[in-house]
Amino acid sequence: MSYSASPSKKLALYLFCLFWLYSSQFAFAAPHNTEDHQAHAVARRTHKASSTPKNPFKTPFDTDSGASSSDSSDEDIAPTDDGPTSDRSPGLGIEFEASGFIFKSGTCKLKGTLASKGKAISGHTNTYWSLTVDTTGEVEGKLAGEYILNGKNIKLGAGTAATAAENVQKDLVKWNPHATMSGNSFDLLDPVSSECKTWKVADPSSSGGYKSLLWQVQATAPMPLAAIYTLFELAKGPDRKHDPLLAEHTRHLNRMVWVNSKFFQNAPQGNQATGVTKNTLAFFSLILSYVKPSSTAGDSLKFRSPIMPRTDFVTLYNAVKSNIKGENLYELVLALLCFKNDGEEVELDTIWCDGTVKAPKLLSSKDDQLTFQIDGHSQLSGFPDKTSFTLQEWMDGLQGTGTMTAKVNQALKKADAKSTRTDKSPVDLMAVFDRWYDGQIGAYGSTQEHLYANNKQSVPLFEFRNLEGIKDDKFKTRVSEIEERVIYYHKHHAT
């Protein structure tokens, strides 16, 4: 028997179909929430990873040194703008930060506070500089102010660095930020949430208080390894000499280990003292400066050395490995640990080894100090917040060997379906596990920049930390000194 629906039922069926089609657009193609995405992108370094986390090591500015520079944008690096340049011409990034420049919010919770790191303040930005916010530990609703000279846009020797520093100082004077100021309220650009958008100045407490602030300075620039060697020599030589790129206080300089040719007096693994280059000595100086200082598990790894590679250690090792004899990088480093600086001389480091200079032996009691304890926020599935890696695993990673190397590579590959990593891909574990904290050591991966006035030679990027503190009226002068010194090293160490 045939059946024909009534007109009213046909209309009802038609309306139902329309409703279903309209609803399905939301069920299967929900609009992208940009604010939520941006909040997650920044917060991923400070909160636990899910079982299938997004890859926190975006190429090319990651720990994958084999990545092509065309694979990703500079926005994958970090929320700060200290570098690198897009065309790999030499840039200069500067940070001015003061512990007494504090902002507070009554509505921004801890997760949002941490995720706000690196956000710029509305009305205080320029092509070459910006006033940003930084975290002050894990404190809810509290951030510190930090002026950044944009190392992505400021080119070495172009005359823009000093001008930017001057304009930063003018901005600070004009704003005169203090807790009792009229209209004490400002917004963050691109806030992670509405609750974390508006903040107020908590310190300085009174008008003109900015004049008494002491600003700590950090500089990011490309630098030849041979120049890094010179800086270690200046820091540890018999007559410590001031350099705009060296840390101000003795406590920071004491952490540095100047590995010179005398560390190789016993020809470990056949490496003769006369055969190792300054580039190689600089590489080992950096390695030992991250190994020897003592620290607690909750401390960021970046505090171990005032000279911090922003290009990863895999790239640094690749630049010098042809000058290193032997196949066991770990055993070579162990041999070097037995020496310490005494001016221009080298003596047995009895804290680490016994025996004699000619026949040193590592103390068994130092085994624990060859393990880096990590206690932060995990960024890879399969790795807890509280974890560790050893010096041997770090060195194996640079050479693409070992169980930990394979495990980390598997986690990185799982986090990025496009990854071409294998179990034996070289990986910088110092850069990987620093992501539990700040994600700064080696965060630029294999990225390097050209020498000044020489685009045929590329060199790694470094951050020079704990530089001499200054008042705001010295911003321009100090930046000029730093820039001149970087150019000097580029000219004197070109090959």
The pLDDT tens digits of the residues spanning 225-274 come to: 999 999 999 999 877 778 999 999 999 999 999 999 999 999 999 999 99
At 298, the pLDDT band (50, 70, 90 cuts) reads low
300 or 66: which leads in pLDDT: 300
Under 8 Å between Cβ of 340 and 474: no
| Cα–Cα nearest to 477, from 98, 165, 121 | 165
Burial class (CB in 10 A: 0-12, 13-18, 19+), 329: buried
**77 against 189, higher pLDDT:** 189
- Spatial CA neighbour of 258 closest among 238, 292, 283, 232: 232
Assign 384 a pLDDT band (cuts: 50, 70, 90): very high
Q: Which residue has the tokens 């045929």?
A: 456
* Residue 62 pLDDT grade (very low, low, confident, very high; cuts 50, 70, 90): very low
Neighbours of 375 (CB within 10 A): 15
Please state the separation of Cα 395 from the chain's center in Å. 20
pLDDT at 296: 59
Q: b or e along 257-276 (b: 16 or more beta carbons within 10 Å of the residue's beta carbon)?
A: bbbbbebbebebeebeeeeb
Distance CA 188, CA 146 (A): 13
pLDDT at 16: 46
Among 200, 40, 27, 213, which residue's Cα sits nearest to residue 112? Answer: 40
Q: Does pLDDT of 45 surpass 60?
A: no
pTM, rounded to two decimals: 0.84
Please report the pLDDT score of residue 80 as a whole number: 57
Residue 290 clears pLDDT 90, i.e. is over it: yes
pLDDT of residue 241: 76
Lowest mean pLDDT among 12-26, 320-334, 359-373: 12-26
On the 0-12 / 13-18 / 19+ scale of CB atoms within 10 A, 356 is exposed
pLDDT value at 312 more than 60: yes
Q: What is the pLDDT of residue 242?
A: 85
pLDDT at 238: 75
**pLDDT at residue 458 greater than cutoff 70:** yes
The yes-or-no verdict on residue 288 having pLDDT over 90 is yes
Q: Confidence band (pLDDT; 50, 70, 90) for 141?
A: very high
User: Residue 14 above 60 pLDDT?
Assistant: no
Nearest to 78 by CA among 44, 54, 103: 44
Question: Do β-strands 307-309 and 215-222 pair in parallel, antiparallel, or remain unpaired?
Answer: unpaired
| Displacement of CA 42 from its chain's centroid (Å) | 14
- pLDDT greater than 90 at residue 121: yes
Q: Six-digit token pair at 137?
A: 């530990």
> How far is the C-alpha of 108 from the C-alpha of 195, rounded, in Å?
5
Distance CA 319, CA 314 (A): 9
User: With bands split at pLDDT 50, 70 and 90, how would you rate the model's confidence at 54?
Assistant: very low
Q: What are phi and psi of 36, to 5 degrees?
A: -65, -40
Please report, to the nearest 10 degrees, the dihedral formed by the alpha carbons of residues 188, 191, 197, 199 taken in order: -40
The distance from CA 472 to its chain's CA centroid, rounded to whole angstroms, is 25
DSSP 8-state assignment for residue 240: -
pLDDT of res. 28: 35
Between 61 and 172, the more confident residue is 172
pLDDT at 295: 65
Residue 190 Rama label (left phi>0; alpha psi -120 to 50; beta): left
Distance of CA 101 to the CA centre of its chain: 22
Angle at 96 between CA 139 and CA 141, to 5 degrees: 15
Residue 48, CA distances (Å) to 53, 56, 334, 379 in order: 9, 12, 34, 6
Contact 452, 156 (CB under 8 A): yes
- Residue 394's Cβ-count burial label (10 Å; 0-12, 13-18, 19+) is buried
Q: Of the candidates 168, 179, 178, which has an alpha carbon nearest to the alpha carbon of residue 127?
A: 168
Q: Mean pLDDT over all residues of the chain?
A: 86
Q: Note the pLDDT of residue 57.
A: 39
pLDDT at 81: 73
Average pLDDT of the residues in 341-359: 94
Query: Which residue's entry shows tokens 């007096």?
Result: 265
On the question of pLDDT at 380 being above 60, the answer is yes
E strand intervals along 118-267 = 120-125, 129-135, 142-149, 186-187, 198-203, 215-222
